[in-house]
Structure 1
C-alpha cells in the first residue's frame, strides 16, 4: 500500500520525546505508532476516513480531524493525555480526534496491545473504577461508547480511505 500523505505536520518528534511521555505516564507506545510519529508528527491525512464495521453488518464512517503531534503544536498528545487521563481507562492513549471531539485511541493494555479504538463522546460512559476509588482497572473494561476499529496502528492506517466531499461530486 502506498504511504499515507499528511499535510499540516509539526516539527519532527524525537525518540527522547516519546520516551519522556512513556516514562511520565507509565506505558510503552506500540512500535508501529512510534515509527509513524517519528516520521510524521501530527497533521491531517489525505485518506482520513475509517469504515467501522458494525454488528449489524453495516459500516459507519469515522473521519479523522487531526492526528495529535508530540512536543510541537497547539493541541499535542501530551496536552490530550493530561486533559483526558481522568476520563479514560489508563490503557487508552488518544492519538487523533474527530471534528466533534470524539477520540481515536491506541491500547497499551496487555490483552489488546496496539489495537485502535474509537470513543464516541456522546455515548461514552467511563468505566466504574474511574468513579469509585475502591475498584481497580480491569483490562479491556473501557466503558460504554468505546468501539474497536483495528488490531494495530498499521492496520488502522492501511484501512483509511479517501471519501470525496459531497461538494466535489456536484462539480462534474
Structure 2
C-alpha cells in the first residue's frame, strides 16, 4: 500500500469508537480502512487525484467509455460535526445512497464508498451525484467501480 500525506485530520478515533460505530450500524469496517481511520480520522490526501471508468449508460448522454478524472477533496472522519461518515449516514438510511454502500470520502459533491455487499465486499465505488434521480437511489445507475479494496484505491491516487 502506498504512503500518502494526509493533512487536516480530526482528533484521533479510538478502537472502542470504531467498534461502537460498527455495532450501531451493523457493519464491519475493512481492516485497512480501519487502520487508516485510527491513524488519520479523515483529512485531505496528497496525492488526491484518481480516474473512474464510466461505461456508457442508457440514461446518460455518454456514448463511449471514458475515464473521468476527479479528486478526493477529503476523506470523511468518523464523527466530525459537519461532513463525516456519521453526518452522511442519513444518505444511507433515507435511501439516497444505494443499500450496502458506506461513504468514506467527499469528492466535490460526489462520494467515494466502500461496499458492504456480499458480492462486492470492501470494493471502492464512486457515487456520481449528477446521475442521481430525485435524491433517491434508483438501482446502481450512478455507482461506478473504482478499486478492489481501499489499499488498491490509495495506490491509484496521483498528483
TM-score (norm 2): 0.84
Paired with 1:89 and 1:48, the residues of 2 have a C-alpha distance of 25
Given that residues 92 and 99 in structure 2 are in contact (C-alpha distance below 8 angstroms), is that contact kept between their aligned partners in structure 1?
A: no
1:120 to 123, 128, 136: 128
Question: How far apart are the structure 2 equivalents of 1:2 and 1:153?
Answer: 11
The answer on 1:88 being equivalent to 2:97 is yes
Correspondence for 1:170:
none
Q: Kindly report the root-mean-square deviation, in angstroms, between the aligned alpha carbons of the 2 structures.
A: 1.8
What is aligned with 1:50? 50
* Alpha-carbon shift at residue 70 of structure 1 (Å): 1.3
Give unpaired runs (5+ residues) of structure 2.
56-63
Q: Closer, same or farther in 2 for the Cα pair 1:90/1:23, shift >3 Å?
A: farther
**Whole-angstrom distance in 2 between the partners of 1:145 and 1:75:** 21
Corresponding pairs, count: 148
Q: CA deviation at 1:2?
A: 4.5
1:58 Cα offset (Å) = 3.5
Shift of 1:57: 5.6
> Is it true that 1:143 corresponds to 2:140 in the alignment?
yes
**Normalising by structure 1, what TM-score?**
0.78
Distance in 2 (CA, whole Å) between partners of 1:88 and 1:58 is 24
Gaps of 5+ in 1: 129-141, 163-172
Corresponding residue number in structure 1 for 2:153: 156
Match of 2:59 in 1: none
Higher strand share: 2
Distance in 1 between residues matched to 2:103 and 2:87, nearest whole Å: 10
Once the two structures are TM-superposed, the CA of residue 124 in structure 1 deviates from its matched residue by: 2.2
